[in-house]
Amino acid sequence: MSQPAITVAELCDRIRVQPPATIAGVAIAGVTTLELVGENEASFVLKPRYLKVAAKSKAAVVLVPEGMKTDDPRALPVPDVWMAVLALLEHFHPAPRSSGTVHDSAVVDASARIGANVEIGPCAVIGKDARIGDNTIVDAHAVIERNVSIGADCQILANAVVRHGTRMGDRVIVHAGAVIGDDGFKYELAGGRLRKVPQVGIVVIEDDVEIGANTTIDRAGFHETRIGARSKIDNLVHIAHNVVVGSDSIIVAQVGVAGSTKIGRGVMIGGQTGIKDNITIGDGSKIGARSGISSSVKPGSEMMGYPAMPMPDYLRSLKALKRLPAVMEEVLPLVREMKRQREESDEDGDW
Amino acid sequence: MSQPAITVAELCDRIRVQPPATIAGVAIAGVTTLELVGENEASFVLKPRYLKVAAKSKAAVVLVPEGMKTDDPRALPVPDVWMAVLALLEHFHPAPRSSGTVHDSAVVDASARIGANVEIGPCAVIGKDARIGDNTIVDAHAVIERNVSIGADCQILANAVVRHGTRMGDRVIVHAGAVIGDDGFKYELAGGRLRKVPQVGIVVIEDDVEIGANTTIDRAGFHETRIGARSKIDNLVHIAHNVVVGSDSIIVAQVGVAGSTKIGRGVMIGGQTGIKDNITIGDGSKIGARSGISSSVKPGSEMMGYPAMPMPDYLRSLKALKRLPAVMEEVLPLVREMKRQREESDEDGDW
Amino acid sequence: MSQPAITVAELCDRIRVQPPATIAGVAIAGVTTLELVGENEASFVLKPRYLKVAAKSKAAVVLVPEGMKTDDPRALPVPDVWMAVLALLEHFHPAPRSSGTVHDSAVVDASARIGANVEIGPCAVIGKDARIGDNTIVDAHAVIERNVSIGADCQILANAVVRHGTRMGDRVIVHAGAVIGDDGFKYELAGGRLRKVPQVGIVVIEDDVEIGANTTIDRAGFHETRIGARSKIDNLVHIAHNVVVGSDSIIVAQVGVAGSTKIGRGVMIGGQTGIKDNITIGDGSKIGARSGISSSVKPGSEMMGYPAMPMPDYLRSLKALKRLPAVMEEVLPLVREMKRQREESDEDGDW
């Protein structure tokens, strides 16, 4: 929060927008929501219905989408509101940057290859033959086991564990307490009893992936578990062995994906959903929160419920379910009376 | 378990009760359940139906609620059984107390302000400008990042991570492996691709909160995620960014609460429940285990299921659902035959 | 992967099988799936339908069950395919073995009793009066608190926390980030407010148990939480206080078992299932994924759903539910028309 203020002109310069002359000189000391915004700060509006709130706010500058009608003199129209907000956030809260120092208490194996300008925090452990790319930060107490390869500009946060052999691209963020590359859950009957099958594959994390706090991603049985580029995984998610997640997918908190399942590209999976082993979720599919997916779904599907159905069927089914007790009360007595009458008339016929 | 025995008279003195003369001198060497209780130990009865079990037990003393009829000579009537049990537990198993020592292997930043009688365990890390209140225990391997403020008489257990800027009141317990203040899960399309929105808010934990093992509580996007005083959160719970939990609420294991949702005061949420983002759970509501709450609920509601319904509706709906296959088998053939007959008679009419 | 090749004859010797003369001298440089297998490697077939894939693979040797018909000259018939695969895996990927060294940065209390050939990793912490059995590995940053007893040949992986008093048998594996023996979740009203009930019991883990990454197993209120011999628990599972899991049970990822529940022997519990407190799951039961079990089930039950039903009922119920909207649309108009007609004819009768 100790960053200097920035003028509207400076902001516009960064996002390559022509500043309105009327407010070009206005200084911005921070950026936040309309609810919280203070006198010298900027805020932003994404939908017209919030313009009223903006009008009553103390904001010095209000970012609005180009073309949205407003006569608020503090409005700064921009072609991409989030680009402008992100520019301000980056100014006031710059992303963590490596200090380039290795803490005295860190335990770095002599065989590890550490890139330029790497930060290694207190008590962090870097194992044999591990490689850490340039500018990467390994925070306090993170454990990077032997033969792990981590790219450049990554952040491995406090207490995360990256088990042996894991390969990670650039700009990956692993949040606190996440465990990457621990054993898959695999037992087979052999010699009359259940035995652990050694998990000898690895985990591969592609570029720009983010992995949430206390999430677990298991190593493959033989080959690899893979998280595609730019995919984002929330907290407390479980990804089992051999799973492949395509690029640009979003997996919300507490989801579980069972072994060998393939999640496509651009898939969105709502929180607490469970996905069966050995199935495929087609590219671009959307899975509603708390669903249970027990068979493959085609690309572009929107599924919900357990067992999951296409969204319109799910909504019809829900509606029907809600009416069910009342409908039963209505239908059953009538049907039963008819049945009784019919049986009586049958008996009549027997006479 | 190396605490000395305590007499009934001493116990009664602590809980301000008049000891019955007949057992005032009886020594109590421990306290446990009726199932486990040994010859020199105390146990307790909360409901009359357990008096029989108590009668057959080896207990030296049986705590019973005042007014419960029993002729067991070992009975010790007290106005508040749990107060008496807690007094005994506190005697035999005193709560952890700070040793007041900082372990040689701990890494405490020179700028950190450490209160009186603070214990800092092996390899614990205390960051820049962090503040730790009097008598607080920071256990082995806990990581307290920069600018964190922790009150007095707290316990931060092994391997917990408290990320930068978190503010915590007094007597807070953070269990092993919990992660407080890691980034919220927020991405927005900007410049044509999904980008991480920096999470620049904090987490505030009020007095007397307890947070379970491996639970994650994310920092706010702009402002604060807040857990109200005396609220208790179990293991493996996920609390997303901007969530506010009121005071005196109970959240059982593996619950997930999505972003910006407000949980009222005195709310109870059963295990594995999921709660949607941006809704409100009214004060005093009770949410059954494994529910999915996708819209706001009024104060004092009792909800269950997914989608959640008021408890009586849920129970009716369950009952109807259980009967459904049989009812369909009963109704459908009859209805179809009627339909057929009706079509035939229509056809007759066409003649 | 730097293990030397092994001949078919050597493999057969290890698994006590007579090698076929035709391939006895063939060298095996690795073992993997048919999909991945390379020229000098072995693979395996468990079901006849994969023989075709095997025929087209590059495998040097294909393990097949004795008696399965094939004319592939590379086939090696064995009485127990998994025994052979495990023998090869053990050859090429030997299980981690203790280095017998204690890292300089480890913090081992002087009173701890450390067995022969124990490995203690960087920054691991071993508390007062803890006992560690022969050949056990305690990995980097694991925390073994006071009075913990761990048997021989165990592996406690990075960042795991084993809280005070926990007792563990031999050959137990605790994966990264797991928390064993933290407090149960128990509060009682006493003196007019909710108070924490100290959890003074312990956790007992029997021989050959495996516990997944970031799983939490709470200590008992008064006595013990127990995991039976050879039971396997996956990642992110929550086992509450006083729970007893019998031997040879399998608990898949993200399951939650509430307090004081008894899980029998040889039980299988599918992922994300929730099990209520104070109930019993009979020996040999199978619980489907994502179920909610709210009352005891008899030995040998197969249950699914929430509320859970016996598997055939569940499947009937699902089928009925899927048909429900269509059936309602079919039945309701007819029933209503009949009702109307009947009311009209009643009215006729009133004339």
In the block, residue with structure tokens 């008064």: C222
* Pairs of residues, one from chain A and one from chain C, whose beta carbons lie less than 8 Å apart: 174
Helices (H), chain C: 8-14, 51-56, 81-92, 311-350
For B289, the closest of C196, C292, C313 (CB atoms) is C292
Within a domain: B139: yes
Locate the chain B residue with the closest alpha carbon to C317: B325
C46 shares contact with chain B (CB less than 8 Å): no
Task: Tell whether the model's pLDDT for residue B332 goes beyond 50.
Answer: yes
Interior/surface letters C90-115, b for 16+ CB within 10 angstroms, e for the rest: ebbeeeeebeeebbebbbbeeebebb
How high is the ipTM of this complex? 0.94
**Residue B198 at interface with chain A, using a CB cutoff of 8 Å:** yes
Query: Cα–Cα distance between C172 and C165 in angstroms, integer?
Result: 16
Q: What is the count of structural domains for chain B?
A: 2
Residues A137, A274: one domain?
A: yes
- Shared domain check, B70 and B205: no
What would the pLDDT profile of B174-226 be if each residue is shown by its tens digit?
999 999 999 999 999 999 889 999 999 999 999 999 999 999 999 999 999 99
Q: Say whether both B82 and B231 belong to one domain.
A: no
Residues 212-251 of A with CB under 8 A from B: 212-214, 230, 232, 234-236, 248, 250
Cβ contact B70:B64 at 8 Å: yes
Q: Are residue C126 and residue C262 in the same domain, yes or no?
A: yes
Q: Does the residue C294 lie in any domain? A: yes
Task: Share the mean pLDDT of chain B.
Answer: 95
- Are the Cβ atoms of B188 and A82 closer than 8 angstroms? yes
| Interchain contact, B334 vs A332, CB within 8 Å | no
Task: List the pLDDT tens digit at each of the 351 positions of chain A.
Answer: 468 999 999 999 999 999 999 999 999 999 999 999 999 999 999 999 999 999 999 999 999 999 999 999 999 999 999 999 999 999 999 999 999 999 999 999 999 999 999 999 999 999 999 999 999 999 999 999 999 999 999 999 999 999 999 999 999 999 999 999 999 999 999 998 899 999 999 999 999 999 999 999 999 999 999 999 999 999 999 999 999 999 999 999 999 999 999 999 999 999 999 999 999 999 999 999 999 999 999 999 999 998 899 999 998 888 888 888 888 888 888 888 877 877 777 666 554
pTM of the model: 0.95
A250 located within any domain = yes
Token pair 């294909």 in the structure block, residue: C62
Token pair 């071993």 in the structure block, residue: C126
Pair A63, A43: CB distance under 8 Å: yes
- The answer to whether B145 touches B159, Cβ cutoff 8 Å, is no
Would residue A102 count as lying in a domain? no
Is residue B51 located within the same domain as residue B194?
A: no
Distance CA B304, CA B309 (A): 6
Q: Which residues of C touch B158 (CB under 8 A)?
A: 125, 143, 145, 161, 163
Give the residue from C26, C61, C92 where a domain finishes.
C92
Asked, for residue B186, whether it belongs to a domain, the answer is yes
Q: In the predicted model, is pLDDT for residue B317 greater than 90?
A: no
Closest-CA residue to C137 (of C103, C178, C92, C163): C103
Q: Residue A244 maps to which CATH number?
A: 2.160.10.10
Q: Tell me the residue range of the domain where B221 lies.
A: 107-310
Give B-chain residues touching C330 at CB under 8 angstroms: 335
The CA distance from A189 to the nearest CA of chain B, in Å, is: 31
What pLDDT sits at residue C345? 73
pLDDT at position A349: 55
Contacting subunits of B (3+ beta carbon pairs below 8 A): A, C
Q: Is A310 on the interface with C (CB under 8 A)?
A: no
> What value does the mean pLDDT of chain C take?
95
Percent of chain B residues topping a pLDDT of 70: 98
Q: Which tokens hold the place of B3?
A: 């605490």
Q: Please say whether the dihedral angle defined by the alpha carbons of residues A14, A20, A25 and A29, taken in this order, is positive or negative.
A: negative
Per residue in C319-333, pLDDT tens?
888 888 888 888 888
CA distance A235 to A254: 7
* pLDDT at position A351: 46
Cα of B214 to nearest chain C Cα, Å: 7
Q: Which residues pair with B238 in a beta bridge?
A: B216, B256
Check: CB of residue B107 under 8 Å from CB of residue A105.
Answer: yes
Residue C171 and residue C211: Cα distance in Å, rounded? Answer: 12
User: Could you report the per-residue pLDDT of C245-294, keeping only the tens digit for each?
Assistant: 999 999 999 999 999 999 999 999 999 999 999 999 999 999 999 999 99
Q: How many CB atoms lie within 10 A of CB B204?
A: 22
Distance CA C269, CA C212 (A): 14
Selected residue of B179, B233, B313 to mutate for chain A interface (largest A Cβ count, 10 A): B179
Q: In chain A, which residue's Cα lies nearest the Cα of B201?
A: A32
User: Same domain, yes or no, for A30 and A160?
Assistant: no
Dist. CA A45–CA A29, nearest whole Å? 18
Instruction: Please answer yes or no on whether A230 and B319 come within 8 Å at the CB atom.
Output: no
pLDDT for position A187: 97
**Annotation says A93 is catalytic:** no
Are A305 and A335 in the same domain? no
Q: Which of C93, C94, C96, C123 is nearest to C107 (CA)?
A: C123
CB contact under 8 A, B325 and C307: no
Instruction: Determine the Cα–Cα distance for residues B154 and B166; give it in Å rounded to an integer.
Output: 14
CB A168 within 8 A of CB A186: no
Is the residue at B327 inside a domain? no
Residue A143 shares a structural domain with residue A217 = yes
Cβ of A278 under 8 Å from any chain C Cβ?
Answer: no
Helix (H, G, I), strand (E, B) or coil at A82: helix
Which domain-ending residue is among A92, A118, A150? A92
Under-50 pLDDT residues of chain C: 1, 351
Domain with residue B39: its CATH number is: 3.40.1390.10
pLDDT band at B320 (very low <50, low <70, confident <90, very high): confident
Which helix (H) or strand (E) segment holds residue B348: the answer is helix B311-350
Subunits adjacent to chain C (3 or more Cβ pairs under 8 Å): A, B
More confident residue, B236 or C194: B236
Per-residue model confidence (pLDDT) at position A322: 84
The subunits that touch chain A, with at least 3 C-beta pairs less than 8 Å apart, are B, C
The CA distance from A207 to A201, in Å, is 20
- Out of B34-48, B214-228, B271-285, B329-343, pick the least confident: B329-343
- Span B250-268, average pLDDT: 98
Q: Are residues A15 and A112 in the same domain?
A: no
Q: Based on the number of CB atoms within 10 Å of its own CB, is B347 exposed (0-12), middle (13-18) or buried (19 or more)?
A: exposed
Tokens of C88: 């090869």
- The residues pairing with B339 across neighbouring beta strands, listed in sequence order, are none
Question: CA of B316, closest CA in chain A: separation in Å?
Answer: 7
pLDDT band at B4 (very low <50, low <70, confident <90, very high): very high
| Shared-domain flag, residues A293 and A332 | no
Asked if residue B321 belongs to a domain, the reply is: no
Burial class (CB in 10 A: 0-12, 13-18, 19+), C203: buried
Same domain, residue pair C176 and C112: yes
Residue A1 confidence (pLDDT): 47
Say if residues C95 and C112 touch (Cβ distance below 8 Å).
no
Q: Which residue of A has its CA nearest to C90?
A: A198
**Residues of A with Cβ-Cβ distance to C177 under 8 angstroms:** 159, 161, 177, 179, 214, 216
Which residues is A281 bridged to in the sheet?
Answer: A263, A297
Q: Are residues C219 and C268 in the same domain?
A: yes
The Cβ of residue B17 has, within 10 Å, a number of other Cβ atoms equal to 18
Predicted local distance difference test score (pLDDT) of residue C131: 98
A99 falls within a domain: no
pLDDT of residue C1: 47
Q: Are A253 and A236 within 8 A, CB to CB? A: yes
DSSP secondary structure string, C11-43? HHHHTT-PPPGGGTT-EE--B--TTT--TT-EE
Residue B31 DSSP code: B
